[in-house]
Amino acid sequence: MATHVRHPILIAEAPRSLGARSFAALYTLESLARATLVTVLPLTAFALLKEAALAALLAVTGWLTRTHLPRGM
């Protein structure tokens, strides 16, 4: 078991007024950005490629590349 734990310094300096509302606002912003990307990018690919099969292949290839490549690449 670890006997020495390093705590981040900036957490102690953060204002205590930040709480659930700040977390909810950041979570909402991130969710809206992700939902926009998931909706707009495939539609844009379909509009540019003019074929649903190519747009789907592009989306699946991007998903596989993002989820299965190491983070350093």
In the predicted model, is pLDDT for residue 10 greater than 70? no
Between 19 and 31, where is the model more confident? 31
pLDDT tens sequence across 23-58: 888 999 999 998 888 888 888 888 998 998 988 888
Q: What is the per-residue DSSP string for 11-59?
A: HHHS-TT--HHHHHHHHHHHHHHHHHHHHHHHHHHHHHH--HHHHHHHH
